[in-house]
Structure 1
């Protein structure tokens, strides 16, 4: 089912942006990546007064192709594929719809009507790793990523080592953004193995893993959104990707005829990547030093170990 969020007008003085479609691989209610995509769609609707549509559970090429056909019939001319997996789908499908511009994330766009928005999250991972290295009591920290290509994973490991040379980082991959069961099994095993801080780097499982960590009286690093509301004495900070803000930015560029195909990278300097609220468990001196390191990175592109 295509869900339509109807608006009462069309885009201001420009006529580039007609209607917008959003494809979500899982759900808009995951409190992380999917929710942020939906919020981004709502920002576009509010800003440009255009009709917007979304479809959930778009996790195979066949269902994606059918959804795009429906969107095209409704006059949609900008489609967001909310995830890395759409890079492959759009590579095959986009040439069939030259009047539609496609946007995906963390991929490699090669067609003239496809743009890939890449979050360079290595630095956010590094700074979050510094937090974990500073707080850990057991010197064992667990990372639960979905895939090896996620740049924040390597950054986190390097940040831990920079801050605390005695800390060990255990990385175990889920190989799926949505496999909560496997992520929870890994989390339980890590905590049994004396990891006192976990960093669940996956869309749908970050919240349940953090809830389990909270039950155990241990600590976590939030992912994608500021997850301090799950417990600011559990969540030390979060690696935030303001993808909802990026929706509005790219829609404006498209509306003005300025959105280019290919890959566009975003980092701290673009104000779409940041760290979330710091836990009151962190001492003020460390927070001040960390903030100075972040400002230095914004200005120079250099991390504390460089």
Structure 2
């Protein structure tokens, strides 16, 4: 091999070695930069507050399920405080948790936090506040709520098709009569002559008052009750089925409590609201300065399967009404 070919071969080998070394260096540099960015990325610190205790079937248990869900889906560290006394504990709880973890987001599990958060949010401007339901807004305070009128409309249709006395009752935990057009409109679409009796317990847990209301409604001729409480639903359902009354459940499919008496249930997937909140927060490290309405397309509610008491013709009517109402409100 002559000298020129040897030099050319050596040059080619050296160039190949340099190229390989350069590629390895680039890969390693990219990995180091990526690792540095990952280490610098701040984990979102969330505090969830509820006035309720975290027992089975309770409103507070839904906050705990929301906690588990967002811990699974997002890079977050979540603390939780239950049985919070809003009047005396709130500021100290937030201050203590913020000193320990530098909070990014505080979620109040229920409308009872709405006014209190409005006041306290001005004292913690670096923290984003959110309430599940409520009315108060601020530059760092958002409300997330259900726009579940469409499913309640379908539930109203389902109830209207089964009443024999033309009297249907609603036992609500909070006063939503002026907002609850969905259920009443569904009833009216089938038969405007049906009378709707609406009563409020003013508590999610007051079984005694809820049972008293149910008893009076039944005495007044109601043969279907839509019961919308957390803690008191089972008591109402157990009582009503002994009287041969049909029911519509709430929050979860409650047919397991009274299979032969449950028409359907309006499903509220409250934990899924926490996912919606975190999705919005992680876009801009804050949530919108408005009341955010979530509906069935956000996966936060739906309708449980219809009971065995419905005929095929009735099921067809209900499904058609459901299809029409969802198409009208489709995003």
TM-score bracket, normalised by the shorter chain, equals: 0.7 to 0.9
1:71 is matched with which residue? 97
Q: 2:68 maps to which residue?
A: 42
Contact 2:173 2:229 in 1 (8 A): yes
- Structure holding more helix per residue: 2
Change (3 A) 1:83 1:188: same
Contact 1:228/1:277 (8 A) holds in 2: no
Tell me which of 123, 128, 131 is aligned to 1:96: 123
1-side partners of 2:110 and 2:243: how far apart?
Answer: 31
Question: Which stretches in structure 1 are left out of the alignment for 5+ residues?
Answer: 1-11
Q: Give 1:46 shift.
A: 1.6
SS at match of 1:61: coil
Q: Give the match's secondary structure for 2:323.
A: helix
**Given the alignment of the two structures, is residue 256 of structure 1 paired with residue 283 of structure 2, yes or no?**
yes
Question: What is the number of equivalent residue pairs in this alignment?
Answer: 291
The answer as to whether partners of 1:33 and 1:224 remain within 8 angstroms in 2 is no
Structure number with higher relative contact order (C-alpha < 8 Å, ≥ 6 residues apart)? 1
Is the aligned partner of 1:265 residue 2:293?
Answer: yes
* C-alpha displacement of 1:209: 1.2
Which string of whole-angstrom CA distances, capped at 9 and with x for unpartnered residues, describes residues 81-135 of structure 1?
1111111110001121122211112223421111101212222222111111111
Structure 2 distance, partners of 1:228, 1:213, is: 13
Q: Which runs of 5+ in 2 are unaligned?
A: 1-37
> Superposition RMSD on alpha carbons, in Å?
2.4
- Counterpart position of 1:135: 162
Structure 1 residue 173 displacement after superposition: 1.7
Provide the secondary structure at the position in 1 that maps to 2:44: coil
User: Contact conserved, 2:137 with 2:143, CA < 8 A, in 1?
Assistant: no
Which region of structure 1 is more displaced relative to structure 2, 75-84 or 292-301? 292-301
Q: Aligned to 1:74, what secondary structure does the other structure show? A: helix
Partner of 1:199: 226
Could you tell me whether the CA contact under 8 Å between 1:32 and 1:224 is conserved in 2?
A: no
Runs of 4+ in 1 over 6 A off after TM superposition: none
Q: TM-score, normalised by structure 2?
A: 0.79
Q: Which of these two proteins has the greater Rg computed from alpha carbons?
A: 2
SS in structure 1 at match of 2:48: strand
